[in-house]
Chains A and B, each alone.
Chain A
Amino acid sequence: MSDTTNQLLDNLNALATGLFLLTAFGIVAMRQVRGCLNLFIIQSLLLAASAALLGLRHGSEHLYGVALVNLISKPIIVPWLLRRTVSAEIYTRREIDQVLNIPTALLIALALTILSYFLAQPLLGAVAPEFRGPNVPIGIAGLLLGAFTLTVRREALPLLIGLLVMENGAFLTGISISRNLPLLVELAIATDGLIIVFISGVLIRAVQKHIGTTAVGELASLKERDAEPATTETIK
Chain B
Amino acid sequence: MSVVIILLLPLIAAVLVCIPVKSYWASGVTVVSSVVTLILATRIALRVAAGDSVVTTLKFGLHQWIAVDGLSALILLLIAFVATTAAIYSVGYMAHENLKPSKLRLYYANYNLFVFSMLAIPVLAEPTLVWIVVELTTLCSALLVSFQNTREALEAAWKYVVLSLMGAGMALFGFLVLFAAMQASGNDGVYTWEGLIVAAPSMPPVLLQTAFLLILIGLGTKVGLVPMHTWLPDAHSQAPTPICALLSGIETSAILYVILRLFPVMHASPHAHAETWALVLGLISVGTAAFLLLQVRDYKRMFAFSTVEHMGIILMAVGLGASVAGYSAMLQIVSHCVTKSFCFFAAGAALMAVGTREIAAVRGLIRKSPAASVALVFGGLAITGAPPLAVFLSEFSILKAGLMQKQYVATGLLAIFIVIAFFGIMLHINRMVFGAPESNGNGSPGNNHIEPQPVEKFHLPLSCRLAMILAAVPVLVLGVYIPKPLDDLLTQAAAALTR
| Contact A224 B292, CB 8 Å, known A207-B154, A235-B230 | yes
> How far, in Å, is A193 (CB) from chain B's closest CB?
9
Contact: A188 with B143, CB < 8 Å?
no
* Docked-complex contact B143 and A202, CB < 8 angstroms: yes
Give the contact stretch, choosing among A62-70, A87-95, A98-106, A159-167: A159-167
Within the complex, the shortest CB–CB distance from A117 to chain B, in Å, comes to 15
* Contacting pair B207 A206 (CB below 8 A): no
Q: A122-B206, A166-B166, A221-B151 are in contact. Are A173 and B173 (CB under 8 A)?
A: yes
Q: How far is A199 from B216 in the complex, measured between Cα atoms in Å?
A: 25
Q: A173-B177, A196-B139 are in contact. List 18 more A-B contacts (CB 8 A).
A: A123-B206, A127-B184, A143-B169, A167-B172, A170-B169, A173-B173, A174-B172, A178-B183, A180-B183, A203-B142, A203-B158, A207-B154, A210-B151, A222-B152, A222-B155, A224-B295, A233-B295, A236-B230
Closest B-chain residue to A176, C-beta based? B180
From B128-136, B366-374, B439-447, B458-466, give the one contacting chain A: B128-136
In Å, the complex CA distance between A10 and B296 comes to: 57
For A177, the closest partner residue in chain B by CB is B180
Structural contact, A195 and B139, CB atoms closer than 8 A: yes
A61 within 8 A of B: no
Cα A167 to Cα B156 in complex, Å, equals 23
Contacts of B122 in A (CB 8 A): none
When A126-B204, A143-B170, A224-B295 are in contact, do A203 and B176 touch as well, CB less than 8 Å?
A: no
Say yes or no: A173 contacts B176, CB within 8 Å. Answer: yes
CB distance from A213 to the nearest CB of B (A): 10
Cα–Cα distance between A159 and B129 once the two chains are bound (Å): 25
Chain A contact residues: over half helix, strand or loop, or mixed? helix
- Please report which residues of chain A, range 100-134, place their CB below 8 angstroms from some CB of chain B when the two chains form the complex: 122-123, 125-128, 131
| Cβ B158 vs Cβ A219 within 8 A | yes
Contact flags (1/0) for B345-364 with A, using CB distance below 8 Å?
00000000000000000000
List chain A residues, Cβ under 8 A from B230: 235-236
Contacts of A82 in B (CB 8 A): none
A-B contact pairs, 23 of them (CB 8 A): A122-B210, A125-B206, A163-B162, A163-B169, A166-B169, A167-B169, A169-B169, A170-B173, A174-B172, A174-B173, A181-B191, A192-B135, A202-B143, A203-B142, A203-B157, A210-B154, A219-B151, A221-B152, A221-B155, A222-B155, A222-B238, A224-B296, A235-B230
Distance in angstroms from A49 CB to nearest chain B CB is 19
Residue in B closest to A198 when the chains form the complex, CB atoms: B139
Secondary structure at chain B's binding surface: helix, strand, loop or mixed?
Answer: helix
Q: Is the CB of B128 within 8 A of A210?
A: no
The reply to whether A222 and B166 contact each other, CB–CB distance below 8 Å, is no
Q: Is the CB of B169 within 8 A of A128?
A: no
Q: Are A203 and B155 in contact (CB under 8 A)?
A: no
- Tell me the complex Cα distance, A203–B238, Å: 15
**Is A8 on the interface with B (CB-CB < 8 A)?**
no
Structural contact, B142 and A150, CB atoms closer than 8 A: no
Mask, A195-216, CB within 8 Å of B = 1, is: 1100110110011001100001
- Binary interface profile of B, 120-160, with partner A (CB < 8 Å = 1, else 0)? 00000010110010011001001100100111101111110
| B297 adjacent to A177 (CB under 8 Å) | no
Contacts A125-B206, A128-B184, A203-B161; A222 near B234 (Cβ below 8 A): yes
B158: A residues at CB distance < 8 A: 156, 203, 207, 216, 219
Interface residues of B (CB under 8 A from A): 126, 128-129, 132, 135-136, 139, 142-143, 146, 149-152, 154-159, 161-162, 165-166, 169-170, 172-173, 176-177, 179-181, 183-184, 191, 204, 206-207, 210, 230, 233-234, 238, 292, 295-297, 301
CB of A185 within 8 A of chain B? yes
Asked if B179 contacts A178 (CB within 8 A), the reply is yes
Contacting pair A203 B143 (CB below 8 A)? yes
In the complex, the answer to whether A210 meets B149 with C-beta atoms within 8 Å is yes
B152 and A188 form a contact (CB under 8 A): no
Does any Cβ of B come within 8 Å of A30's Cβ?
A: no
CB of A174 within 8 A of CB of B176, answer yes
Chain B residues, CB < 8 A from A127: 180, 183-184, 204, 207
Instruction: Tell me which residues across on chain B come within 8 A of A169, comparing CB atoms.
Output: 169, 173
Most buried by B among A181, A225, A235: A235
**How far apart are the CA atoms of A199 and B143 in the complex, in Å?**
7
Is the pair B156, A222 in contact by a Cβ cutoff of 8 Å? yes
A200 and B168 CA atoms in complex are apart in Å by 15
Residues of A within 8 A of B179 (CB): 174, 177-178, 181
**Smallest distance from the beta carbon of B238 to chain A beta carbons, Å?**
8
A172 to B150, CA, bound (A): 38
Compute how far the CA of A131 lies from the CA of B207 in the bound complex, rounded to whole angstroms: 13
Give the residue among B126, B158, B292, B296 with the most A Cβ atoms within 10 A: B158
Asked if A189 is an interface residue, CB under 8 A from chain B, the answer is yes
How long is the Cα–Cα vector from A11 to B226 in the complex, in angstroms? 44
Shortest C-beta distance, A176 to chain B (Å), equals: 9
Q: Which residues of A contact B150 (CB under 8 A)?
A: 210
For B176, list chain A residues within 8 Å (CB).
170, 173-174, 177-178, 181
Q: Are A199 and B166 in contact (CB under 8 A)?
A: no
CB distance from B212 to the nearest CB of A (A): 13
Q: What residues on A are CB-neighbors of B152 within 8 Å?
A: 221-222
Are A203 and B184 neighbours in the complex by a CB distance under 8 Å?
A: no
Interface status of A81 (Cβ within 8 A of chain B): no
Residues of A with C-beta under 8 A to B165? 163, 166, 196
| A147 in the interface (beta carbon within 8 A) | yes
In Å, the complex CA distance between A166 and B170 comes to 8
Interface contact B210-A147, CB-CB below 8 Å: no
Cβ A178 vs Cβ B169 within 8 A: no
Decide yes or no whether A146 CB sits under 8 A from chain B: yes
Minimal beta-carbon separation of A73 from chain B (angstroms): 14
Judge whether A225 and B297 touch: CB under 8 Å.
yes
- B268 vs chain A, min Cβ distance (A): 14
Q: Which residues of A contact B181 (CB under 8 A)?
A: 126
Residues of A within 8 A of B295 (CB): 224-225, 233
